[in-house]
Amino acid sequence: MIPGPFSYHRPATVADAVKLLTTLGDDARPLAGGHSLVPMMKLRLATPEHLIDLHGIDGLKGIRRDGDNIVIGAMTTQHDLLASDEIAKSLPILHETALLIADPQVRYRGTVGGNVANGDPGNDMPALMMTLGASYRLEGPSGGRDIAASEFYQGAYFTALEPGELLTAISIPAPAAGHGYAYEKLKRKVGDYATAAAAVVLTMAGGKVTSCSIGLTNLSETPLLATDAAKAVIGTSLDPATLKKAADAATAIMSPAADARGPVEYRKHVGGIMVTRALTRAAAKAN
Ligand SMILES: Cc1cc2nc3c(=O)[nH]c(=O)nc-3n(C[C@H](O)[C@H](O)[C@H](O)COP(=O)(O)OP(=O)(O)OC[C@H]3O[C@@H](n4cnc5c(N)ncnc54)[C@H](O)[C@@H]3O)c2cc1C
């Protein structure tokens, strides 16, 4: 399959990219790693007339500590996450999740910014960013703004990005030392998108859960925060009855599509299992 014709632009600054996106309007799309956009173009599901390649812009790549936050440039690749000591030390769940995305070839090109800006319910990073309380930095024709990841996703491929806006960085509050974490992902085969996945970040004291956040991937047309499920485990030792209660509360908010990954009831069922497994494994890691 061959994409339709398009013009290629390679701006050197964020301001130039925003100007191009603004003047070219709906016919233009940012190009990051191209591992979601180009397959869509080859299938003619996306037919942008202008591609604005972000690779020429200095400063959009990298991982840095800013006080209590870890700031990741939009053009940082999934492989960069895996190679980062800062991520391994402060945000090990990001390392664990990146390793479950596709295969090394995709991870060398695919960017974190592209993954979270794409709006595909099957992308793994969005639910994780919501679980971690991350925010996104957006630059547009009327200046910059920050938006919580939990407010960014509005529907499948529909986000809070306004015309002309570019996502430039992701800011994640460093979780407490000793936190437990797990990303559990059921997929049909290595390299596949999730049939169902759950992210858990929690803290424990004296054998009881003191804080918990749970995110769900590919179990609705947007990533979900399972807040009632997370509340159900606070103050407990994650005994079997509590785990079931949490899985039931999470399942109640799932509305996955019926597709090649299975019918709705099956995907909700395995979604509950992912929540149970992620909670159990996160608790075992907490200290
Ligand atoms: C075989 C295969 C398997 C895959 N499996 C998985 C998987 O299991 N889990 C998973 O999460 N992903 C998976 N992916 C997708 C992969 O992670 C993509 O790299 C990712 O979804 C998009 O990142 P990208 O940098 O390639 O973005 P692109 O494809 O370049 O862009 C994606 C979309 O986001 C927009 N965009 C990109 N960057 C920005 C920005 N900075 N600001 C605003 N808009 C922007 C683009 O215009 C486009 O609409 C897979 C891909 C392939 C080819």
Which tens digit of pLDDT belongs to each residue from 31-74?
999 999 999 999 999 999 999 999 999 999 999 999 999 999 99
Whole-number Å distance between alpha carbons of 206 and 191: 39
Ligand 1 touching residue 204 (CB < 6 A) = no
Whole-number Å distance between alpha carbons of 30 and 18: 10
- State the distance from the centre of ligand 1 to the C-alpha of 118, rounded, in angstroms: 6
Ligand 1 touching residue 48 (CB < 6 A) = no
- State the distance from the centre of ligand 1 to the C-alpha of 43, rounded, in angstroms: 15
pLDDT at residue number 18: 98
Q: Which residues fall within 8 angstroms of residue 137, CB to CB, at 6 or more apart?
A: 144, 145, 146, 167, 168, 169, 170, 171
Task: Give the atom of ligand 1 at the shortest distance from the alpha carbon of 30.
Answer: 47
Q: pLDDT, tens digit, for every residue of 197-234? A: 999 999 999 999 999 999 999 999 999 999 999 999 99
Ligand 1 touching residue 160 (CB < 6 A) = no
Ligand 1 touching residue 32 (CB < 6 A) = yes
Q: pLDDT, tens digit, for every residue of 6-26? A: 999 999 999 999 999 999 999
CB atoms within 10 A of CB 32: 26
End-to-end Cα distance, the chain: 51
